[in-house]
Structure 1
């Protein structure tokens, strides 16, 4: 399994990122941001997919400060609970710094080409924060949690951001979705897509949560968005 070691920006250590390379010269780079289940088989499959589309792709191990190499299966109740516990222990500000370090690494590895990010669940929230706090060229978040608490940062979003919202998300209630629309619908850089009747995790690569039609629609929109803004 290919990986790259990345030094943290604060000098506190280093972490691994799964690496997937395209055939030939990369058209750009993509950073895939994990769910609360670590860089597991599904996240690595996301990376392999983007590499097949011509992008150099990295997925950083964001839980390395807690425990390196965590891989969980959300279909196993005990592992789902562990993921939720890890979410509570995770330092999101340091996570964003690690994503920024990964963006820099990806940009270097891709020959200074543009870098996009895409994240899921916790990673969707971090994709929003990445759009607001870093120089990522384009960002996409799937079923991002707690965005209503981050709307005060929307002025920092300078590059395109797309958010895929599950209409019946058990972790993102209707009132939170309403606040997202109220705060972001008129933002010139933000695009929201709602998938009615879908629940959290609908675009996972494997497992019980996947909803095939909605996943394919969301991923096709993401692919077009990256093609437009990365190349």
Structure 2
């Protein structure tokens, strides 16, 4: 079952929407799905629905609510891609992490049995998943094709819970030097696992659309499923 709920900000001064997909039985854990620059669109909702089928309570907060509430864009439409890139430039990432933290708290309350909470993010969400691992008490984090993580490596020391990152080697938003820096900074970290995907580009694991690469998406998603089963079980 799916629904939209409202989550209170950490300061208690506002509320924002979140899409929720609930499993048929009692959830084994909660997973927060962190949006791309396209908002909580059909692809992100589908990610939530799939996690619910797997037994998780899945929640996708509308992180763009301060600048474009409930925006839903299609990356395969050039004008909408341009709009998304413009929104990315206006988005306050530190505020976004606070909203993710508020969502983590809401998820823990919804589980009401001390269950664990993970996050999985894509594109912008992949970057935010890294930041969430470093800045919150989340139990496990997964990032797909996170952008600009090489510039966040100064926060690596704060990662205390497991983090998995999927890195397409032909990502046109993350060049080879940035990928090399990620490996140099993270390969020896006891809590971090990196997987490379030769020949794959940004967005390869989207649910549908022109960017999807089926074989790589299925491989990455199976690794993510095993990671969450291990660390949220």
Measured in 2, the distance between the counterparts of 1:168 and 1:67 equals 30
Instruction: Determine the structure 1 residue equivalent to 2:136.
Output: 134
Gaps of 5+ in 2: none
Instruction: Determine the structure 2 residue equivalent to 1:229.
Output: 231
Aligned-residue offset at 1:107: 1.2
Measured in 2, the distance between the counterparts of 1:121 and 1:187 equals 22
Instruction: Determine the structure 2 residue equivalent to 1:98.
Output: 99
Measured in 1, the distance between the counterparts of 2:188 and 2:29 equals 29
- State the Cα deviation string for residues 70-114 of structure 1 (Å, max 9, x = none): 000000001011111111100000000000000111111122200
Instruction: Determine the structure 2 residue equivalent to 1:160.
Output: 162
- State the Cα deviation string for residues 98-140 of structure 1 (Å, max 9, x = none): 0000011111112220000000000000000000000000000
Measured in 2, the distance between the counterparts of 1:122 and 1:10 equals 24
RMSD of equivalent CA atoms: 0.7
Q: What SS does the aligned partner of 1:150 have?
A: helix
Instruction: Determine the structure 2 residue equivalent to 1:77.
Output: 78
The question of 1:25 aligning with 2:15 is answered: no
Aligned residues, how many? 231
Instruction: Determine the structure 2 residue equivalent to 1:207.
Output: 209
Measured in 2, the distance between the counterparts of 1:118 and 1:60 equals 12
Measured in 2, the distance between the counterparts of 1:215 and 1:110 equals 29
Instruction: Determine the structure 2 residue equivalent to 1:151.
Output: 153
List structure 1 runs of 4+ shifted beyond 2 angstroms.
none
Aligned-residue offset at 1:3: 1.1
Measured in 2, the distance between the counterparts of 1:150 and 1:31 equals 21
Measured in 2, the distance between the counterparts of 1:57 and 1:180 equals 28
Which TM-score applies when normalising by structure 1?
0.99
Gaps of 5+ in 1: none
Measured in 2, the distance between the counterparts of 1:12 and 1:37 equals 25
Q: How does 1:167-186 map to 2 (within 5 A)?
A: 167-186=169-188
